[in-house]
Structures are given as C-alpha cells and as structure tokens.
Structure 1
Amino acid sequence: MAKNKASSNGANLGFEEKLWQTADKLRNNMDAAEYKHVVLGLIFLKYISDAFEEMHEKLLSEVEEGADPEDPEEYLAENVFWVPPEARWGHLKKNAKQPTIGKIVDDAMTAIERDNNTLKGVLPKNYAREGLDKQRLGELIDLVGTIGLGDKESRSKDVLGRVYEYFLGMFADAEGKRGGQFYTPRSIVRVLVEMIEPYRGRIYDPCCGSGGMFVQSEKFIEAHDGRLENISVFGQESNQTTWRLCKMNLAIRGIDNDGIKWGDTFHNDLHKDFKADFILSNPPFNDSDWKGELLTEDPRWKFGVPPRGNANFAWVQHYIHHLSPTGIAGFVLANGSMSSNTSGEGEIRKNIIEADLVDCMIALPGQLFYNTAIPACLWFLARNKQNSGFRDRRGEVLFIDARNMGVLRDRTHRELTDEEVRKIADTYHAWRGENFESGKYEDIAGFCKAATLEEIKKHDYILTPGRYVGFEETEDDDEEFEEKMERLTAELSEQFRKSEELEKKIKENLSGLGYEL
C-alpha cells in the first residue's frame, strides 16, 4: 500500500515516503493540522535557500565581470528570492541543536518576508512557541536538509517541489475530513486539467486551497512541451493558513502568485471584473453557511437566486460570471447538483442547460476524497461550443459514467489510474472533434453518450450520466434459457444437499460437547 500512496501524490517512489515516515515520527503528539505548517514551512525555507545558493555560486563565478553576489537586485532580476545571511539554510543547520533554534527559524522567516514583497504575511513564524519541542525541531531541520542532496537527475529545488506536493497529500490523508479543505486528490485534478487543456491564457480558481489546480496545469504544460510563461494564474482562498500554503506551493514551482488573494469570494470578490480563459475548481460541497441571504440582489445570479442553505449553484453561477467569451470551466460538485429540485435549484439548472452552457458531465466513483464520502461529479461549462477547428457541439451535452473506475490504494481511498484519466479525457476530446489517436467519437453503452438538449428536457433537466449512458452490453453466452435454468437448478440442489450435510455434522459435534439444538 505504501507504494500506491507514493504514486498517488505524483512523487518518486521510496524517497518521499521515507522522508514522510521519519518526519511523522518527529511529530510526537502534535496534531497533523498544526505540524503541517511546521514541516512545509521548513521545506519552503530549504527550497528558497537552495535556489539562492545556486544563483550565489553563479554570481561568484562572474565577479570579475562585475556581478555582486550580495546584491539583492541580482537575484530579483532572475526571479530568485533574496535570502539574507541569517535566513540561509547553512545558518539554520549550524544552529539546529541550539535551544534557541525556534527563534532562529522565526527570525529567518521574518527576514525573508522583509526582503521579498511577494512573501509578506505568507510564511509561518511560530517556531519559538513553547509547545514545539526544540530537539525534534532540530532533528526535523537535519532531515529536511537531506532533501535534494546527491540527486543527479534533478536540481535540488525540483526535488523539493515533489516533496512539498507529496507531503501536502499525506497531511490531507492524516487530517481526514479537515485535510480535504486544502487538498484535492491529484487524479481528480488531472482529469480536469487533461480535459480543458490550459495551454495558454488566464487560469482561475476562486477557492484555490493549496494550489493543486495550478500545479497540475503547470505539469500539463511541461508534459506537452508548452511554455509556462504563456499562462497566468488567479485565485482566491478564504482560509488564511491555506492561502499561505498555496502561495508557498506556487513559489516552489516558480509560478507567479501575485494573482492569489486572501478573502471570501462570495462577499469580497477580489477579481470582480476578471474574465478567465480556464476555470478549475473544487468548492466546498453543499455549503450551508455561505450567508447567501446577504447577496440576494447580486448581479452574478443571472440564472436564479441560489438557495440560502446550499452554495452549489452560487459557485456554478460565479464560474459562469467569470468566464471569458471563449472560456471553459471544469469543477467538482456533489452529485445532488445534477438532480436536486429543492429551493429553486432545479430551475437554475434548467436555465443554465437551456442557455447551452453545459458541455460535459462526469459521474465519479466513490471514495476519491479525503474530506467527504458524499458522491461527486465533474461539471464542464463552455461559453462557445462552436470553437473554430472543433465540431459544432451546440445543443448537445456529453455524459460520461466513470463510477466503476478507480482502484483502492488503501481501505478508505480510491484513485483513478493514468489509463482511466486518459480514457476519460480522450473520449471528451474525440467528441469535441479534435485530432486524437482515439479516433472518431462513438457512444459506448454504460460509459458515454452524447445527448441533445431535447433528450435532457425529457429527463426533466436532470444531468445524472447514468440516465443517458444506459447499461454496459454483456456478451451473450449462447446458452438456451431452458438449458441454463436446468443447469442452475441442478447446481442449487447440490448446494442445498451439501448444506444439509454440513448442518448435520455441526449438530453432531455440538451434541458431543453436551449441547443440543
């Protein structure tokens, strides 16, 4: 199972897992939610220090050409964080066994924020608190100090990026329900990213958690030989500590995080007039505490006022509001969003369908999420279903039923395999009319179906894929019905006979022990 856990978070097998096991031992009795910030803060500090040292060595070799290794501007010009002497990893490592190590780390974080505007208010600065065992903190510094050492295939900071992502997933696992608030399982994010293909443009996530949607977008671009500078990311996160995790996560990846804001998206939309080319998101499911009663006149509700007791269709309409004329959105919602008719939700869904904004619906298997057992689905909305170069999809919606997909990686969590992610994405792209090796799109009973708006109307505007894809075709065994019934009846009779014999033996054994039935 350990092997599957490692692979599910996108890290190399073995190395990250060993680091996690060692770090988890050092946690002692500290709650995972609190320990998360201790560990991830140190990994970030090691990352920016390693990137700084790499640049520092380069500048040292260029001193004769006028380079100054101690000039912060030299680093800022290359998008490298300036790390003052008191914050460099060597200084921390040298003092790791000192009883004042907590204050030394806090001072290092403060110094980095002081000299790098984009990190102000982002880094954790509570390592000196009394409840944090300073001996274990020193051991943790020694452990983090081993990351990237001796790695010949990748730069140290690339390894640190993998470790950071792996640890995010493992902390989500350790925290259970609370962990899901900041982390969306990687296989779900991969489906969203592979479907909408954010090669170029503005990517937006109004409840961005720790930034997983943006990280997977970057990986997609790199895997397809794209250019990272062709995208820009924008997002908002209401939880301040999670917002900090996101800013650090993006900084480790070298992704500009200036567009990531902290605040309540519904009541303080910090991207008010922003229009996105791509929206990737996993909002809180069925949020009943979103204070919708304060927003009944909001201009975002073009398809109907969302119910006060459930924010699902507030999120859907927020996404639509922020889509550019050619934009596409992919997001996760609870299954209830596909069929609920309570509190006006059915009417809102009907209006969105009739506006021909729904592009694709996917039913997901259970047990994919850390924070909920609620069944979930993926929605895809498109402003322009007549994109140049693709087939005209107006008046049509693709339904995919993936409920039977996924493999268990432990007793409680399931994940989609690479092959399954590819099958889902290829089906969608074939339907869109793109030139894929998967060939021309065809409906597959039990898996996918392209349905017209008229068909959806006949189903009362319910978007549950199972209603449309039908049942998987089974092979006919060519056995006549009468013959099959005779064979099955004979088998059942034999099983009854064996059952009677077994019952008789059990009674005899009990009788021998002095017990009668």
Structure 2
Amino acid sequence: MNDPNLSSFIWSVADLLRGDYKQSEYGKVILPFTVLRRLDCVLEKTKAAVLAERAVREKAGLNPEPFLLRKSGQLFFNTSPLDMKKLMGDQDHIKENLFAYMQAFSPAVREIFESFDFHTQIDRLGKAGLLYLVTEKFAGIDLHPEIVSNAQMGAVFEELIRKFAELSNETAGEHFTPREVIRLMVNLIFIEDGDALTQPGVVRTLYDPTAGTGGMLSVGGEHLVSMNEGARLAMYGQELNPESYAICKADMLIKGQDIANISFGNTLSNDGLPGKHFDYMLSNPPFGVEWKKIEKEIRKEAEQQGFNGRFGPGLPRVSDGSLLFLMHLISKMRPAVDGGSRFGIVLNGSPLFTGGAGSGESEIRRYVLENDLVEAIIGLPTDMFYNTGISTYVWIVSNRKPEHRKGKLQLIDASGFWQKMRKSLGSKRKELSPEHIDDITRLFGDCKKVSRDGVPISRIFKNTEFGYHTITVERPLRDEKGKIVLGAKGKLKGKPQPDSSLRDTENVPLSEKIETYFKREVLPHAPDAWIDHEKTKVGYEIPFNRHFYVFKPPRDLAEIDAELKGVTDRILTMIGGLSK
C-alpha cells in the first residue's frame, strides 16, 4: 500500500480480528468498513444541511429525496442524525445504532452493503464483542477525498483485495490490472481522437465488462479530464465478484457517476447492459479460464442468434474463454456510421495462434481480420501481472480506423520495455515507467516499421498476411503389388482411392495460388499426390514471436573448443589439488 499510515491502520484492524476471524476472512470486515468510513467522510460537511432540508420538505408533505441529493452535493445522502463518530457515544447500543445509520443511506448505498453481506459481519462482530472496537478504529481515520484522493483510495482497495486473496489462496490478481498497464491502454485508445476529445462539452462513454474495483474506468476518466476539464465521461461496467462490484459502485458513486450503469453478474452468460453501445472500452478478462459452467447459455445464444448475437463468428474451446470477451466487446461497438468505437483488451498468447483452420479460434481471428477491426497488438513484458508471469498482449480494436491503418495490422514488441520493481507483488516483478508508456504510445501513434540496434520493435502487415488455406494432400492406395486401387462406385468410381495413412495437410499463404504452391512444394516429393479441394479451409493465425525473431549465428567452433578446453583444464587442476 502506497500510504504507510493507511497500511499500518489497516493491519491494526487485522490485529483486532485475529483469533475470532481467520486471516482469509479479514477482508469481509475491513473492505465494507473502509467503504462505510469513506462515504461517512464525504457526507460530513453537508450533514446538518441535509437533516434541516429533510425536516422542511417533510413538513411541506414533499418527497425530500431530490432536495437532499442537491444539499449533499453527491448522488447519495444519509438521513440519520448519527455518523460514525457519534456512534462512539453509545457503546451498549452500537449494533442497533450502526444498523439504523446504514439503513438511513439512500437506496444505492444500501445495495452496496448488501453486496458485501455486511449485516452478517456486523452480527458476527457483535457476538465476538468486537463491533465497538472495530467501528471505533474506523471512526478515528479520515478518508475524505481531500485527504485520500480517489486514485489513492482505488489503489488501497486493490491492494487490500490482493492481500486478502493471497491469504485465502485465491487468484490474487484476477480482480484488477496494474495501473501502469491501464494508463498505457487508455493512452492507446484515446491517442487518435485528441482533436475531438478537447472540444468543449464533449461527452463520451467508457465500458469495462470485467470492471473489478473500477480501476480501468477511473484511470480512463482521469485521463480524459487531464486532456479536457470540460469533458464528461459516462462510465459503464459489469463485475462478477460481489466485493469488487460493491467497491466499484462505491467508487463510481463518489465520482458522481450513475451507478445504475454498473451491473452485477457474469458478462458472458448474462449481459447486464443489453443493447448498449459505447465509444470506448477496456477489459482485462481472466486469462485462460474455462467457460464450462456457462457453456449451455453461450452455445444457445450462438446457435439461436448467430451474427445477430455476440458469438456469430465462432466459439473457442471450452478451456479458454478469452476470445468470448473479445467478441462481446465487438458487439458493444458503436456502429461506424454513428462515430464508431475503439477498445483495448488484454489477452494471453493463445488467442493469437491456438486452433487450426476451421476451428472456433481461427474463425474468430478470421472475422476480426477480414473485417479490418484490429489496429495493433502490443506484446508486454512477462511478470507484469499479480497472478501470472506469462506473456500478455494488448489488442487495440476499432471499427473507425484512420485511413493510414486500413487493411493493416501493427505488431509492437514491447517485451523489453520494463524496469524492475523495488519489491515484487505476487508474480509481478516488472513495471512500465512513464517513459516506457510514452515510448510505446508513440510507436503506436506513428504506425511505422521501427528497429533498434537491428532488432525489430514495430512491424506493419497487411491483414491478409495472417491468413492461409489448409489443403488436404492425398496419395493413392496401392495393393500388395504396388498397383493403384481404383474406386468401384460413387464419385471415386474409376479414380484412385486415397490412402488415409498417407494423407497430409499443408498451409498455403492466402497471397499465393494453391496450385502454384502445390507444384513447387509437394509434387517434386510426391508426384502421385493430389488435392482434395472439398476439404480446403481458410485459417488465420498471428505468430507474434516469429515476426520479431532475430537469428543469432552460432559462435565459431574454434572459440567453443577453446572455452571447453579451459573448463576441462580447470576441472583437472581442481581434481589434482584434491588428490594431494
């Protein structure tokens, strides 16, 4: 946690819980209490005005809610005369008073605490004799945005979730994305729209289908305001984890966002924002997670709705649902005639190449490339995420490509752009510096072929260069005497029967004629071969690493021999010393 005071405070609360709670359960108490105190601090200055306004409006027989929202200066309010500090004045009735205080929040806030299942924890703390002590701890710390900024608070929540997930052996990093990676992605989706985004009064929408605690939405909002203080970004999202969902809603509430735009549930099986389309989108879906639990719903949508639904291009294997999120985001793009969309999504390596021609993965790649939707794919360094050290890739996808990008795909190898962290966080050992982010952003913006010290960094390809035909090469079946066996009936009547044991496939680049390739590559080695054209399929793959491979010639043999001789001589000397 960046703030040492906050960090020590949080763990002083954990000390109180030790014994009555398992370490893995600390988050069930600390996270909702942190949110409660944050909201309590935000409303503190307008508390008296809200209570006075309520009395006036109720006396006049009016619904006080819209007036109270105006007086609070927020999208929420609390009508209780109590606050967390006043709760300390009645130790014997702390539980009843705390429940009453929470019940006096406006409905949007009450729903947040229901997502935390906070009432259960209040009961449990009460029975353990800890409720007053824990409430007193939180009442004593100031979490007002003037003291702890929204950005700091977001980082605190993410750090808490990571810590508690580690203690309970959960996947610690699945709920959020490192902030510097988000900043890079935000730079990339906004970079080509600078002129439009600096216009006075501009309004744009940003969506994250895997919102976590709202980190991507928050950084997106901060970035747009830094470009244009008069701009407004309406934020939308959906989140599956109840605690992350509650924190995201609380954060959006304090930022003045409409929290009805944040949905709970599984984005893939139950789209919480059906029919909505957005200007910008960001997502870091879980890497390599199977979708077996929701397979029935996904297949039903794919079969019944086809391209009118989200999964028309195809379905990936059940063991990895990454590409389902890619297709979900594509379905949420604002139509090009209405201004179009751009989004960034973090994926692992398998969506680039898994699955041969005709497979679900290949068909999805074929759809996005043939429809010219992918602007760039950026390879990030390993060890960038909290829960995995694998290679990851940011895809930038748009249905409003600028003219110089049309028909093309840019690949950027940013795997060498990193600095070592002072202290590792889970699997995260590397980070992007601000200079690295600027450098990658510039490479993307320039959209040119770039090499450094003879090593390619940025390359530009035609979309068709990633496509190929998979052809099936047949060889004739022969009898014991080596004579070709001819078919007796059907379409093979009088023609050579294929020998399935000799059957083979070849991948032919889309840029080359199949017959030309066949004559050059196959017939010289198998003059009796032919192509079964009925089995020909179109495939697409993006062999990212191959395009950045630089051949290093082996060292001279004499140099290797000399090195081996030196090692051998040292070993013999050591053995000689032992024998004395």
Name which of 351, 355, 371 aligns with 2:371: 355
Is it true that 1:268 corresponds to 2:261 in the alignment?
Answer: no
Shift of 1:357: 0.5
Shift of 1:315: 1.6
The answer for the alignment partner of 1:36 in structure 2 is 27
Partners of 2:228 and 2:42 lie apart in 1 by 24
Shift of 1:118: 7.3
Secondary structure at the aligned position of 2:263 is classed as strand
Shift of 1:115: 8.4
Distance 1:100 1:338, change over 3 A: farther
Distance 1:415 1:268, change over 3 A: same
Partners of 1:268 and 1:242 lie apart in 2 by 18
Structure 1 spans left out of the alignment, 5+ residues:
1-5, 432-439, 509-517
Residues 233-382 of structure 1: pairs in structure 2 closer than 5 A: 233-286=235-288, 287-289=290-292, 290-291=294-295, 292-297=298-303, 298=305, 299-324=309-334, 325=336, 326-341=340-355, 343-382=359-398
The answer for the alignment partner of 1:395 in structure 2 is 407
2:381–2:417 contact (8 Å) kept in structure 1: yes
Residues 17-56 of structure 1: pairs in structure 2 closer than 5 A: 17-28=7-18, 30-31=21-22, 34-56=25-47
Shift of 1:49: 1.7
CA shift digits 1:403-447 (9 cap, x unpaired): 33432432732242222222222221222xxxxxxxx77455342
2:41–2:142 contact (8 Å) kept in structure 1: no
The answer for the alignment partner of 1:514 in structure 2 is none
Q: Partner amino acid for 1:249?
A: D
The answer for the alignment partner of 2:171 in structure 1 is 178
Q: Partner amino acid for 2:120?
A: N
Partners of 2:122 and 2:39 lie apart in 1 by 21
Name which of 440, 458, 462 aligns with 2:541: 462
Structure 2 spans left out of the alignment, 5+ residues:
198-202, 468-508, 511-538
The answer for the alignment partner of 1:148 in structure 2 is 142
1:161–1:252 contact (8 Å) kept in structure 2: no
The answer for the alignment partner of 1:215 in structure 2 is 218
Shift of 1:302: 3.2
Shift of 1:86: 5.3
Q: Partner amino acid for 2:153?
A: V
2:165–2:171 contact (8 Å) kept in structure 1: yes
Is it true that 1:453 corresponds to 2:470 in the alignment?
Answer: no
Partners of 1:420 and 1:24 lie apart in 2 by 37
- Calculate percent identity across the aligned residue pairs: 22
Partners of 1:335 and 1:132 lie apart in 2 by 49
Q: Partner amino acid for 1:448?
A: S
Partners of 1:160 and 1:27 lie apart in 2 by 27
CA shift digits 1:27-81 (9 cap, x unpaired): 425355532242122222222222212234788999xxx9x9xx76554112253
CA shift digits 1:116-136 (9 cap, x unpaired): 687584563223333678565
Secondary structure at the aligned position of 1:385 is classed as coil
Q: CA RMSD in A?
A: 3.6
Distance 1:397 1:443, change over 3 A: farther
Secondary structure at the aligned position of 2:245 is classed as helix
Is it true that 1:205 corresponds to 2:198 in the alignment?
Answer: no
Secondary structure at the aligned position of 1:404 is classed as coil
Distance 1:227 1:505, change over 3 A: farther
The answer for the alignment partner of 1:76 in structure 2 is 69
Distance 1:167 1:285, change over 3 A: same
Distance 1:252 1:202, change over 3 A: same
Q: Partner amino acid for 1:38?
A: V
Partners of 1:448 and 1:328 lie apart in 2 by 20
Shift of 1:99: 6.3
Shift of 1:358: 0.9
Shift of 1:310: 3.6
Shift of 1:113: 4.5
Partners of 1:491 and 1:121 lie apart in 2 by 69
Is it true that 1:168 corresponds to 2:158 in the alignment?
Answer: yes
Segment of structure 1 superposing worse, 117-126 or 78-87: 117-126
**TM-score of the pair, normalised by structure 1:** 0.78
**TM-score of the pair, normalised by structure 2:** 0.70
Name which of 424, 432, 448 aligns with 2:440: 424
The answer for the alignment partner of 2:120 in structure 1 is 126
Shift of 1:313: 2.4
Partners of 2:456 and 2:562 lie apart in 1 by 33
The answer for the alignment partner of 2:479 in structure 1 is none
Partners of 1:117 and 1:170 lie apart in 2 by 22
The answer for the alignment partner of 2:516 in structure 1 is none
Shift of 1:138: 4.1
Secondary structure at the aligned position of 1:130 is classed as helix
2:316–2:324 contact (8 Å) kept in structure 1: yes
Secondary structure at the aligned position of 1:398 is classed as strand
Is it true that 1:412 corresponds to 2:420 in the alignment?
Answer: no
CA shift digits 1:185-210 (9 cap, x unpaired): 22322222121129551111122122
Partners of 2:109 and 2:157 lie apart in 1 by 25
The answer for the alignment partner of 2:522 in structure 1 is none
Shift of 1:284: 2.6
Q: Partner amino acid for 2:299?
A: E
Equivalent residue pairs, number: 465
CA shift digits 1:351-396 (9 cap, x unpaired): 211111111112223333334455432211110112xxxx520011
Segment of structure 1 superposing worse, 136-145 or 46-55: 136-145
Name which of 497, 502, 515 aligns with 2:574: 502
Partners of 2:67 and 2:44 lie apart in 1 by 13
Distance 1:359 1:443, change over 3 A: farther
Segment of structure 1 superposing worse, 208-217 or 251-260: 251-260
Shift of 1:142: 4.0
Distance 1:55 1:99, change over 3 A: closer
Secondary structure at the aligned position of 1:125 is classed as helix
2:76–2:253 contact (8 Å) kept in structure 1: no
1:327–1:382 contact (8 Å) kept in structure 2: yes
Distance 1:160 1:83, change over 3 A: farther
The answer for the alignment partner of 1:435 in structure 2 is none
Distance 1:374 1:336, change over 3 A: same
Partners of 1:101 and 1:463 lie apart in 2 by 61
Distance 1:413 1:397, change over 3 A: same
Decide which structure has the larger Cα Rg and report it. 2
1:400–1:465 contact (8 Å) kept in structure 2: no
Partners of 2:68 and 2:217 lie apart in 1 by 24
Partners of 1:168 and 1:394 lie apart in 2 by 38
